[in-house]
Amino acid sequence: MEIDAVLGAKGILIYASDQSANPQDNSSIILRNLLAVLAEDERQRIVKRLQDGMKQNALQGMHNGGTCPYGYQLEELEHTNPAKKKAGLTKKRLAIDPATTPIVREIFENYCFKNMGLREVRDDLNRRGAPSPKNGPWARSSIRAILRNPKYTGYQVWGRQRRVKEFKNLLMPSAGEVRKKVWNPPEEWTWSQEPTHEAIIPKEWFAKVDKVAKNRASSRVGRSRKNKKDKKRDYLFRGLIRCDICGRRLQTSFNNNMPYYRCLYKQDYGYVGEASKHPDAVYLRGDKLEEAIEKGVDPVLVGGWIEELKQEKKELKQQLKEEMNKLPTLQRKLDIEKVLEKIPDMSDKLKTADPAKKRKLLEAFRLQAKYDKNTGIVKLQVELSSALSHFNPTWSSGTCRWTDSNRHEVALTGV
């Protein structure tokens, strides 16, 4: 129904083989909307059946798919459904991995009973070269994921996360939607009544993790992460900047009423191996980067672009001149004045533009940035053809010169 309205507003008609020849006929519109409602209802029923089936499969002790928890390996079993068994399908269940199970148990012991924090546990594992879930250095996030996984108690747990759909603009659903996973509160999780696989830790240890985490959080003086998260901030370059040293995306941070982008690779992975070569912290001020972009870049680096723009402008002027010569002199003058009045001053607009609109502009150009702390240079890459196709400009004749998919790179210094 939403598609009908959006396409209709653009003059695009929807034809269906099982409907009348006139798509704008009232009966066709009503039938199309009715079929859309029925299709959505059936989709919801299918989703519900799939979720119920996966829930029962999990509570029977079977693995529904996805990454196997570190410390376990998957054991194949015969399928309980005769038809699927005949087709060669199997079910999978968690089984102890002798090589990594002791490490999981050690992580819980160190955190719960030896007063070691995430960073200390991580550094100890990296120092000893213990194998990690991703075959690289241990990170605090990996240890936190292990400590928060109830499956190590031997019970299967269903419903820890759920998928949600959020519209980018509630007043304009046609603007698109974002689907993501969110964590459900622990009281909403569904636990199997009995253990379904061999446990690595007692259930009491898992409960103790939450108590230890809360006690340590309450002991931090002058820090309130909750208050920081409650206030949503807009970061213009969120997810667009990478550290040129390690290649990771820079995290967002708000300090001294300023937006920053930072890389804490060494803090996340410790001070051993490759992480030891990384600076302790890489910080880039967002306002300085934005100011540098608004002021422009070194003309030498974008000389090629400028020449292309000049040539494009020359050709368009010639096309405009040929068209204007076909009109009476007075009408031609009035048309030119109207066109000039409608041309906006983009430099002033960018300075005062809403951050959300600025963000859309960067996404249209598919901007990517890399920051090298050692040189103080931010390298920007944009796709001009992407931006032009995104905005879909209309030309009287001819084609845009930037029809390739090449990236064009510039460098900003002093940010």
* Domains in the chain: boundaries: 2-59, 72-156+192-214, 238-295+353-415
- The pLDDT score that the predictor gives to residue 349 is 63
- The pLDDT score that the predictor gives to residue 339 is 59
Report whether pLDDT(310) > 70. Answer: no
- The pLDDT score that the predictor gives to residue 109 is 95
Distance CA 182, CA 180 (A): 7
- The pLDDT score that the predictor gives to residue 326 is 65
Distance CA 8, CA 1 (A): 10
Tell me the C-alpha to C-alpha distance, in Å, between residue 213 and each of 28, 57, 331, 347.
Answer: 60, 32, 76, 49
**Token duo for residue 168:** 């980018």
Confidence of residue 99 (pLDDT cuts 50, 70, 90): very high
Closest CA to 155 of 110, 132, 189: 189
Superfamily name and number for 72-156+192-214: Putative Large Serine Recombinase; Chain B, Domain 2 (3.90.1750.20)
Provide the mean pLDDT of the chain. 76
* pLDDT: which is higher, 29 or 221: 29
Report whether pLDDT(357) > 70. Answer: yes
Q: Dump strand ranges (E) for 21-118.
A: 72-78, 90-96
What does the buried/exposed string (b/e) look like for 107-140 if buried means 16 or more CB atoms within 10 Å of the residue's CB? bbebbbeeebebeebbbbbbeeeeebbeeebbbb
pTM score: 0.58
- The pLDDT score that the predictor gives to residue 281 is 76
